[in-house]
Amino acid sequence: MRVLKLSKKDEKKLYDVLNKFGEVWAPVPKGSRYVYDKIEKKEDLVSYNEFVRTILPIKKFLMPQDFNILNLSPSKFETPKVDIPTRVIVGVPPCEIHALNILDKFYTTDFVDNYYMERREKVIIIGKSSLPDEYLFSHKTNTSIVEEGYDLFFIDLGDYYLVWVGSEKGDDIVRLGSDIFSEDVPVDVAHDFVAYREKRRKAFTKHIDLEGVTDLMELMYDADFWDEFGEKCLSCGQCTMVCPTCTCFNVIDELELNKDEGHRRRYWDSCMFKDYSLVAGQHNFRESRAERLKLWYTHKLKAFIGHFGSPSCVGCGRCIITCPVEINVETVVEKLKG
């Protein structure tokens, strides 16, 4: 893996290089929050020193919230032709790159999801490390440092960025931008790098004790607090929509009014919705909100580990910020630990 340097005085030139590979997307302010949006000119490509948490994670690029997968008619059905642009996503934090690695496992392990893969191949990831805010707890989920899943990764060391090259695409970007990427890395870079890592480690303030939680999910599965949370839960599904590792979807056939034609659409779904587990005969496996909450947190903190070897929570803090009734990883762990 190559390590290069990008001087901050050349930072604005980076846009012109990335734009040759595809559309450039990056976090931009939207009210008090951030969203991933398309960058049309280099002046709008802003590098933030603080941790930037977008409302929706990068999974929105890899699996759209709603898209057509089939055109239907009495005589035939056909797969619609979709032009998927190459997107260069800049400023992706380590925890979200870990989420991307989790999605890669999920969509390719037991069965390959071609809708995901054709979009995954059109995404270039430019990661960036930053100091945590008061909601980030990725140091507790072992996702605060990333070693794979990116094409380039930037670490701010003052007057310059340390740039890690993580893929062939990343190497292509470096070659095209040879006038701004330099192999002249300072001799004391190791000292600066260690100092930055230590500063970042000490900056974490959200400490959620996840030790033993996997076993506690089993031991406390019938605890009374799940009913307490069930009474509070609004079944709005916001927690699942903003979670970077949630993958639930539904498929529905829609017919055109007064026509024999229609479409088969795939869209995001949520295990928090009452009709998610509804089957024929109006039987519902998880009709109560408490049961749906247990399903979600068991999947995040326990079941995913058994299948893929790691939890599917990356400590991004979105559930803490988003849930209007304060049901999140932090409050669930507090109840599990008494």
pLDDT in tens, 122-146: 999 999 999 999 999 999 999 999 9
Taking all residues of the chain, what is their mean pLDDT, rounded to a whole number? 93
Domain ranges across the chain: 3-203, 213-336
Examine the pLDDT at 167 and tell me if it is beyond 80: yes
Return the pLDDT at 277.
Answer: 87
Return the pLDDT at 75.
Answer: 84
Examine the pLDDT at 160 and tell me if it is beyond 80: yes
Return the pLDDT at 198.
Answer: 96
Find how far residue 158's CA is from the centre of its chain.
Answer: 27
Answer with the residue of higher pLDDT: 277 or 245: 245
Q: Which residue's structure tokens are 């007064």?
A: 258
Residue 157 CB coordination number (10 Å): 17
Q: Work out the pLDDT band at 90, boundaries 50, 70, 90.
A: very high
The residues facing 155 across adjacent strands are 162
Q: Work out the pLDDT band at 307, boundaries 50, 70, 90.
A: confident
Model-level pTM? 0.94
The arithmetic mean of pLDDT across residues 39-44, rounded, is 91
Return the pLDDT at 46.
Answer: 85
N- to C-terminal Cα separation, the chain:
45
The arithmetic mean of pLDDT across residues 93-121, rounded, is 95
Examine the pLDDT at 165 and tell me if it is beyond 80: yes
Return the pLDDT at 133.
Answer: 95
Examine the pLDDT at 259 and tell me if it is beyond 80: no
User: Whose CA is closest to 95, among 139, 42, 38?
Assistant: 139
Examine the pLDDT at 299 and tell me if it is beyond 80: yes
